[in-house]
Amino acid sequence: MHPLVEQIEELFLPELEHLASQMQAEFPSLRFNVWHSRTGALTPYQGYDIGLEWVFPQGTLNAPNNVALSINLCHLTSTPRLMADVVWGHPSGHSEAEFKDWSKIADWPEAKPETIKELRRTFPTLVQAFESAVGLENMPMQATRRIR
């Protein structure tokens, strides 16, 4: 396993698992999943993702059925890059929060030690955005419409 993957798992996986457990206790009727896996093995992407998602029944055909807090590594075989965000699923793709502004993978910061330290410092902001998304979506529909 790539050393960056090991480092990211060590820094964030326990926290994501703890958050999932807390959220499950707070919202017992909802489903929370923690995942970590390789991605892009057959492409130049060569990455690794780790995250927490809230999966919910799809209400309408054109509405997302999840929101996820994820940390993504890419280009592990060349110049590794790192990104983290809280994003609604397809077809929305709406971003609640992100570690850095970006429009394409080339904009992701290099996964240097100082970048990882900065992500560690700002990670609570992403957690807060995830918690807000889960809480907001669980309000009665009338209240949710007023907030958005």
Residue 109 has pLDDT above 90, yes or no: yes
pLDDT of residue 107: 87
User: What is the structure's pLDDT at 137?
Assistant: 61
Name the pLDDT band for 101 (thresholds 50, 70, 90): confident
SS3 (DSSP) at 73: strand
3-state secondary structure 87-127: EECCCCCCEEEECCCCCCHHHCCECCHHHHHHHHHHHHHHH
Three-state DSSP class for 10? helix
- When pLDDT is cut at 50, 70 and 90, the band that residue 64 belongs to is confident
pLDDT at res. 136: 65
The reported pLDDT for the residue numbered 144 is 33
Over residues 14-56, the pLDDT tens digits come to 999 999 999 999 888 889 999 999 998 888 789 999 999 998 7
Looking at the chain, how many residues does it have? 148
With CA atoms as reference, report the closest residue to 34 among 19, 56, 44, 47.
19
Q: Does pTM surpass 0.75?
A: yes
Q: H or E segment at 56?
A: none
pLDDT exceeds cutoff 50 at 142: no
CA distance 38 to 109: 19
Cβ atoms 85, 98 nearer than 8 A: yes
